[in-house]
């Protein structure tokens, strides 16, 4: 998957957990999950679990640590997809 394809799918994963739909529509790789999308930290585990299910990957603790903005989420998902291939 290209980064753009991952981003399109990632938007669907994030959508239930943000009320900032305007920001979601215009997210880019620098968009911060908590500061910009106003996602409650309690929902970050939901996003990781949903991403694991969506891409059939496993995200370990160290990788989850890196998922603070959209770009680093794509990095982690891309890396896990490549490991699976």
Q: Which residues contact another protein (rule: CB under 8 A)?
A: 19-20, 35, 38, 40-42, 45-46, 48-49, 52, 61-62, 64-65
For the CB of residue 2, give the shortest distance to another protein in the complex, in Å. Answer: 28
User: From its phi and psi, is residue 32 left (phi > 0), alpha (psi between -120 and 50) or beta?
Assistant: beta
C-beta of 43 vs 78, nearer to another protein: 43
6 Cβ contact list (under 8 Å, min separation 6) = 74, 77, 78, 81
- What's the CA gap between 54 and 62, in Å, rounded? 20
For the CB of residue 45, give the shortest distance to another protein in the complex, in Å. Answer: 5
C-beta of 3 vs 79, nearer to another protein: 79
Residue 33 tokens, joined: 């999950």
For the CB of residue 26, give the shortest distance to another protein in the complex, in Å. Answer: 17
């Amino acid at each position: 998957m290209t980064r753009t394809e991952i981003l399109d799918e990632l938007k669907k994963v994030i959508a239930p957990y943000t009320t900032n739909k305007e920001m979601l529509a215009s997210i880019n790789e620098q968009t911060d999950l908590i500061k910009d999308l106003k996602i409650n930290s309690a929902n970050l585990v939901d996003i990781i679990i949903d991403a694991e299910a969506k891409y059939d990957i496993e995200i370990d603790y160290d990788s989850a640590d890196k998922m603070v903005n959209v770009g680093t989420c794509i990095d982690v998902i891309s890396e896990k997809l490549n490991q699976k291939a």
